[in-house]
C-alpha cells in the first residue's frame, strides 16, 4: 500500500472517523483505524464495534492495499505534521510515514476482523437536506442524555426519529425536559416507523453534517441498524430496540397564557441567576412569574444568597399572570441553541409543563417539567 496525500485532507478525515473509536476498548482491533487504498480513493473506517464511521477521500493511490493503524498514535502524529504532503507506505510489516523532515515507522495490524459496514443501500428510508437535519438535531440532541458506559439502553439515551403520517418528528428528552422538532415527512410513503438513535451517534452526526443548502443526507434502515450517508461519509450503528414513551401526551394541549420574551435577554438573565447557585449544586430552582409588564425570575440558594431578574415581555393571547418553578438550566440550555429573536413561553398552571415555542419557527416545541415547592 502506498499513497501520498495532503496533511490537511488526511487529518480532517482521521478526525472524523476517530469519533467512532472508543478510547477504552478490550478489542485491540477496535483501537485501530482501517486504511483502504485504491487507485482512486482512500477510505478510512473507525468503529467501536457498533457505531461506525466510514469516510472516503478522493485521491490517487500509488499502490492498493488495506491495513489497520493504531488510532490514537496515528491521529496524534498526523495532526502535528506540517501542512505538507504526507507519504504513507507499507514496508516490512510497518507503516512508513514520511513528510518533510519527519520519518516514522509504526507497527500496524493486517486488515483482519475489522467490522465492516453491511450492504445497507437496499434499506433506503428517506432523503432530506443535510442542513435541515443538522439544525433539527442541534435543537433537540442536547435534551437527551449520553450513556457514559454505552451499555444501557434507555429512552433518555437516544434521539427519536419518528416518521408518522405527514410528519417526521425528532424528539429528545432526559425525563425532565423534552425537545420536539416537527418537519414534513421527507418520505411520505413511510407512515409509521420510528428509529431511536443513540445520542452518541446523533451527537457526532450533528457535528459532521454539512450546513450547505444543497447537500442531502440519506437515511437507511436495515435490521435494527441505521445509516446516515452524506458527502463521502457514512455513519452507522444499532438502534435502541425499546419503546419510546408517548411524547405527544406530555405536550400541553391548551395554553392559559403566552408571554413573548427576548431570547438573549432571558438567556443572560438565566445565566446570571444560575450563578447564585453553587456551581456544583445539582438541580437549581427558580421561580418564573409575571407581574405587571415584567417577567420576574427569582432564585434563592441557602448556600449563597438570592437574586432577582426582571425584564419586559409582550403579552400574547390568551394571557393571565404566570407563576411556575423550574430548573433554570433547562431553559438556559434551549435558549443557547435556538436561533431566534424572541421566544414564546406557554403556561397552563403551576403543575403543568412550561412550553417554549419559536414564533418564527412553527415546528419546534420545548417542554420543561415544573418543580413544586410547598
Partner 1 sequence: MDEIRPLPAEEVEKIAAGEVVERPVSVVKEFVENALDAGARHVAVEVGDGGRRSIAVTDDGSGIPFGELALAVRNFHTSKIRACDDIYHQTTLGFRGEALAAISAVSKLTLTSRRADDELGGVVSVDGGRVGKARRQSLNPGTVVEVRELFFNTPVRRKFLRSRATELHHITNCVRNYILAFPEVAFSLVSDGKPLLTSGGRGLTPDVLYSVFGADVGPHLSSFSREYPPLGVSGLIAPPSLYRETRKLQFFFVNQRPVKNRVMYRAVDDALQEHVSAGRFPPLVLYLEVPPEEVDVNIHPTKSEVSFLHQQQVYSSIVVTLKDAVRGAAGEQIREIKQELQADLPEPTESVTAPLSPPTVAHPQGVRSIPVFEMGSPLVPDGPSVMQTEATRSRLSVVDAGAVVSLAREMGIPSFVHPDGRYFACQLAATYILLVKDDQLILIDQHAAHERVLFSGMWARLGPDGGEVVRQKLMFPLSIALAPDEIAVWREHLRVLEQLGFAVRFGEGEALVDEVPKLLLAGSDEERIAGVLEELVSSGRSAKLEDERKELVAGLACKGAIKAGDVLKPAEIRLLLDELLSLDDAASCPHGRPTMIRMGVKELAKLFRRS
Interface residues with partner 1 (CB under 8 A) are: 24, 26, 173-178, 245, 250, 278, 280-283, 285, 302-303, 327, 351, 353, 367, 369-374
Q: Which is nearer to partner 1, 176 or 206 (CB)?
A: 176
Q: Which is nearer to partner 1, 73 or 340 (CB)?
A: 73
Q: Which is nearer to partner 1, 116 or 283 (CB)?
A: 283
Question: Min. distance of Cβ 72 from partner 1 in angstroms?
Answer: 13
Coil, strand or helix: which one is 89? strand
Half-sphere exposure of 11 (CA within 13 A, CB side): 16
Which residues have CB under 8 Å from 364's CB, separation 6+? 139, 179, 180, 181, 182, 338, 357, 358
Question: Min. distance of Cβ 172 from partner 1 in angstroms?
Answer: 12
Q: Which is nearer to partner 1, 115 or 316 (CB)?
A: 115
Question: Min. distance of Cβ 302 from partner 1 in angstroms?
Answer: 5
Q: Which helix (H) or strand (E) holds 264?
A: helix 263-275
Q: Which is nearer to partner 1, 26 or 119 (CB)?
A: 26
Question: Min. distance of Cβ 55 from partner 1 in angstroms?
Answer: 28
Question: Min. distance of Cβ 12 from partner 1 in angstroms?
Answer: 29
Q: In 3D, which of 219, 22, 20 has the Cα closest to residue 125? A: 219
Q: In 3D, which of 12, 136, 160 has the Cα closest to residue 86? A: 12
Cis bond before residue 318 (omega within 30° of 0): yes
CA 109 from chain center: how many Å?
32
Query: Distance between CA 176 and CA 283 in Å, rounded?
Result: 11
Q: 40 — alpha (psi -120 to 50), left (phi > 0) or beta?
A: alpha
Question: Min. distance of Cβ 26 from partner 1 in angstroms?
Answer: 6
CA 167 from chain center: how many Å?
21
Nine cell digits for residue 326: 423550574
Q: In 3D, which of 252, 207, 248 has the Cα closest to residue 230? A: 207
Burial class (CB within 10 angstroms; exposed 0-12, middle 13-18, buried 19+) of 84: exposed
Question: Min. distance of Cβ 343 from partner 1 in angstroms?
Answer: 20
Q: Which is nearer to partner 1, 327 or 365 (CB)?
A: 327
Q: Yes or no: say if 299 and 354 are a contact pair by the CB < 8 Å rule.
A: no
Residue found by looking up cell 409582550 in the block: 314
Q: Which is nearer to partner 1, 55 or 139 (CB)?
A: 139
Question: Min. distance of Cβ 247 from partner 1 in angstroms?
Answer: 8
Q: Which is nearer to partner 1, 32 or 229 (CB)?
A: 32
Amino acid at each position: 500500500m502506498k499513497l501520498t496525500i495532503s496533511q490537511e485532507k488526511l487529518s480532517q478525515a482521521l478526525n472524523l472517523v476517530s469519533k467512532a473509536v472508543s478510547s477504552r476498548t478490550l478489542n485491540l482491533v477496535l483501537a485501530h483505524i482501517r486504511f483502504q487504498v485504491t487507485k482512486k480513493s482512500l477510505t478510512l473506517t473507525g468503529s467501536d464495534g457498533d457505531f461506525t464511521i466510514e469516510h472516503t477521500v478522493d485521491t490517487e493511490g500509488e499502490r492498493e492495499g488495506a491495513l489497520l493503524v493504531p488510532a490514537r498514535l496515528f491521529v496524534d502524529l498526523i495532526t502535528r505534521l506540517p501542512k505538507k504532503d504526507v507519504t504513507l507506505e507499507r514496508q516490512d510489516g510497518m507503516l512508513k510515514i514520511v513528510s518533510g523532515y519527519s520519518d516514522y515507522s509504526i507497527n500496524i495490524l493486517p486488515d483482519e476482523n475489522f467490522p465492516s459496514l453491511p450492504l445497507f443501500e437496499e434499506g433506503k428510508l428517506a432523503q432530506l437536506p443535510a442542513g435541515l437535519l443538522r439544525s433539527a438535531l442541534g435543537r433537540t440532541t442536547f435534551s437527551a442524555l449520553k450513556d457514559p458506559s454505552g451499555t444501557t439502553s434507555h429512552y433518555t439515551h437516544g434521539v427519536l426519529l419518528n416518521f408518522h403520517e405527514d410528519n417526521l418528528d425528532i424528539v429528545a428528552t432526559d425525563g425532565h425536559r423534552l425537545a420536539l422538532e416537527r418537519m414534513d415527512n421527507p418520505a411520505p410513503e413511510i407512515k409509521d416507523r420510528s428509529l431511536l438513535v443513540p445520542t452518541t451517534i446523533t451527537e457526532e452526526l450533528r457535528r459532521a453534517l454539512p450546513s450547505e443548502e444543497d447537500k442531502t443526507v440519506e437515511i437507511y434502515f436495515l435490521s435494527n441498524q441505521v445509516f446516515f450517508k452524506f458527502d463521502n461519509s457514512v455513519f452507522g450503528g444499532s438502534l435502541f430496540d425499546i419503546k419510546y414513551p408517548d411524547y405527544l401526551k406530555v405536550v400541553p394541549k391548551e395554553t392559559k397564557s403566552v408571554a413573548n420574551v427576548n431570547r438573549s435577554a432571558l438567556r443572560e438573565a438565566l445565566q446570571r441567576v444560575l450563578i447564585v447557585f453553587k456551581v456544583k449544586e445539582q438541580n437549581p430552582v427558580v421561580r418564573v412569574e409575571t407581574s405587571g409588564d415584567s417577567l420576574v425570575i427569582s432564585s434563592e440558594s441557602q448556600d449563597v444568597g438570592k437574586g432577582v431578574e426582571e425584564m419586559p415581555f409582550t403579552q400574547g393571547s390568551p394571557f393571565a399572570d404566570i407563576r411556575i418553578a423550574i430548573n433554570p438550566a433547562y431553559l438556559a440550555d434551549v435558549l443557547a441553541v435556538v436561533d431566534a429573536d424572541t421566544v414564546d413561553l406557554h403556561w397552563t398552571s403551576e403543575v403543568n409543563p412550561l412550553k417554549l415555542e419559536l414564533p418564527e419557527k412553527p415546528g419546534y416545541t420545548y417542554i420543561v417539567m415544573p418543580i413544586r415547592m410547598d
